[in-house]
Amino acid sequence: MRKPKYQFFSLEEYQARLDALRGRMEEREIDVLLVNSPENLYYVSGYQTPGYYWYQTLIVGLDREPTFVTRLNEASNIEPFSWIEDSRPYEDHEDWIEHTKDVLSDLGLADKRVGLQYDSFFLTSQDEKRLTAALSDATFVDGSGLVEEGRMVKSEQEIEYIRQAARTAEAGLRAGIEACAVGVTENDVAAEIHRAQIAAGSEYTGLPIFIRTGDRDLMTHSTWYRNVLQPGESVTIEMPGCINRYHAATYQQIYLGDPPELLLRAREIGAEVMAKAKSAIRPGVPAGDIHRLVQDSLEEAMGPGSKRNSRAAYSIGIAFAPDWGEGHIISMTEGESRPLQAGMTFHLLAGHVALQGLDGAKRAVNSDTVLVTEVGCETLTDGLEHRLWVK
């Protein structure tokens, strides 16, 4: 292992990640794993680039140092960021699957049991087909989730980066709350939020910041779109921060004018449900139970129409676009029976309450990034109180 120039984890931590991954490979009888997801590549090797729209893979065997196959242009990121030395890039005009096949043959791995990330966005179906056809002597097995399993429980250093990310998210939120006023545009607000978040240290995030006003709050994942803020409207901000690719996220809500009773009431209920969920979170509890608790609490307080139409929380950590979460690793959702473990981190959305019959405000929002500790739950986005900011 070589010490990279930009190093965010100790070589011991990388070694431990690699050893654990190899243990899981052996359990699935995989001789060599091809890692394509940008989060997984970063987790195993330290290598990062936003240029993962070109094919790139890390060949992880059981008994020799891993080998990178990336675009030549991106190979410039391996030496500064990664402890891995063996890099065999392809050029823009070359066939990267042929190249991968040649590298695997060269390493003596072309007839082994090869694990592929069948669930990865960045191993296309086309490449999967071509690769399995090109390596006719290999046996292909599903290696999905093998690296992700190691990402599920965070180390001290990972948690520290998530804490730092939380500070940048809060800086963005303060600027956003300050900037909201009748007559300014969503873009004016977004401009100040980005400025503050980045000045506080944040990197680019896996998803854009979500800034929604009035009716547009009903459109999932909609964000700033040059609309003018109107009196009697709520503004919701879902805010990420990112340090060394680790993310934290949290919501805040602003109201322009005298807030309606119904919204205030809904926010109170949201805060209560949030508190209930946090006090139920501890190691050993099945993740789906927290989801159910949230649904039951919402139904009890507001009637069946107020139940969530999506999961109550998703795991959060390393992210590259198009997601800042890692809910595919574990979510608090209907039917999830796996137990919570100390060191897991979630974006907990338990404080959202849907509203009916109000113009200008479609829901009350309240969320935090939380850490499952040995004894319970710690809020990581605790630097800014949750309340309705009235402007």
Q: Where on the chain is the footprint of other proteins (CB under 8 A)? A: 6, 38, 49-53, 71-74, 76-77, 80, 91-93, 116, 118-126, 128-129, 142, 144, 187-188, 190-192, 194-196, 198-199, 201-204, 207-209, 218-226, 309-311, 320-323, 333-335
Q: Give CA–CA dist 306/266, Å, rounded.
A: 10
Residue with Cβ nearer other proteins (50 or 108): 50
Give dist(CA 140, CA 132) in Å, integer. Answer: 7
Which residues neighbour 391 within 8 Å (Cβ) at sequence distance 6 or greater?
A: 177, 180, 181, 182, 254, 255, 256
Is the Cβ of residue 250 or residue 259 nearer to other proteins in the bound state?
Answer: 250
Amino acid at 91: E
Q: Shortest approach of other proteins to residue 119 CB, angstroms?
A: 5
Report the nearest approach of other proteins to the CB of residue 130 (Å): 10
In contact, 384 and 173? CB cutoff 8 Å: yes
Residue whose CB is less far from other proteins, 195 or 265: 195
Shortest CB 378 distance to other proteins, Å: 26
CB 214 within 8 A of CB 233: yes
We find the least distance from the C-beta atom of residue 261 to other proteins, in angstroms, to be 26
Q: How far is the CB of 145 from other proteins (least distance, A)?
A: 11
Distances (CA, A) of 136 to 110, 111, 129, 219: 8, 8, 11, 47
Structural tokens at position 10: 């100790």
Closer Cβ to other proteins, 330 or 371, answer by number: 330
Question: Residue 29 or residue 119: which is nearer to other proteins going by CB?
Answer: 119
Shortest distance in whole angstroms from residue 373 CB to other proteins: 27
d(CA 340, CA 31): 30
- Nearest-approach distance from CB 320 to other proteins, in angstroms: 7
Query: At closest approach, how far in Å is the CB of 218 from other proteins?
Result: 6
Q: Which of 187, 373 has the CB closer to other proteins?
A: 187
DSSP 253-317: EEESSSPPHHHHHHHHHHHHHHHHHHHH--TTSBHHHHHHHHHHHHHHHH-GGGS-SS-SEEEBS
Nearest distance, CB of residue 168 and other proteins, angstroms: 10
Compare residues 208 and 257 and give the one whose CB is closer to other proteins: 208
The secondary structure of 323-386 as a DSSP string is -SB-TTT-EE-TT--PBP-TT-EEEE-TT-EE--S-SS--EE---EEEEE-SSSEEES--SS--
Q: Which is nearer to other proteins, 3 or 226 (CB)?
A: 226
* Residue 205 burial (10 A CB sphere; 0-12, 13-18, 19+): buried
CB of 349 to other proteins, least distance (A): 11
- By beta-carbon proximity to other proteins, the closer residue of 243 and 388 is 243
Residues β-bridged to residue 246: 243, 318
Is the link from the previous residue into 322 a cis peptide, with omega within 30 of 0? yes
Q: Is 71 helix (H, G, I), strand (E, B) or coil?
A: strand
Query: Please, which residue, 117 or 369, has the CB nearer to other proteins?
Result: 117
Whether 284 and 373 have beta carbons less than 8 Å apart is answered as no
Q: CA-CA distance, 48 to 29, in Å (whole number)?
A: 28
